[in-house]
Amino acid sequence: MKPRTHVTFRHPAEFVPYGDGVLAVSGAQWFAALLLRVPGLEIEDDLCQEDWGVVVFARRNRKEFWIGLSAWYPEKEDAPVRDLEEGWWLAHFHPGLWVPWRWASWFQRLSSSGKNEFKRLLADVHEARVSEAAISDIAWWWRTPEGPMLHPLVNDLIARRYNSLPPPQVWRAKS
């Protein structure tokens, strides 16, 4: 089963715009600091500005990853337009790097050691989020969420059953 690689959550950090609804690098420093709590994870000092948000390049156990962060506006079932309430974030995790001259990082997503390290990274990132008092409403997705968020207990059940990340107690729902 493919691991969930997209996570939505609430955090009271201020949204710093780069453009129309796009998060600026200066507004993602809190996220980089949170990633540094993950055991063994090294991140590059310079965050990368993209037209949809910010990218953090990371390395752990000789494996490379890129992690994206942007604002997320969950849709409410009874609202005709998106809920523009601040404090919602979407992070997504990817094995390897996207630069063509780093061939080894492209192949890590095919190797069992690369896949296992990626799953461990996701579990450790989740644990760092759960332990942060300012973060709530954590929900993991296989891809970018398009509909309303599930209840945290349902999300927890799905994550424990299908995510294949040991141990199950890591996937506590926090509401």
Question: Tell me: the pLDDT tens digits for 7-54?
Answer: 889 999 999 998 778 999 999 999 999 999 999 999 999 999 998 899
Q: How many whole angstroms separate alpha carbon 64 and alpha carbon 108? A: 8
Tokens, residue 103: 């061939």
CA proximity to 75, closest of 67, 65, 83:
83
Across 122-147, average pLDDT: 82
Segment holding 104, helix H or strand E: helix 103-107
Say how far apart CA 106 and CA 126 lie, in whole Å. 24
pLDDT at 130 over 50: yes
Higher pLDDT, 5 or 154: 5
Contact (CB, 8 A) for 126 and 140: yes
The CA R_g of the chain, rounded to the nearest whole Å, is: 16
Phi, psi of 157, deg, nearest 5: -60, -45
The overall average pLDDT reported for the chain is 76
Q: Which residue carries 């310079």 as its tokens?
A: 46
What is the C-alpha to C-alpha distance for residues 141 and 106, in angstroms, rounded to an integer? Answer: 23
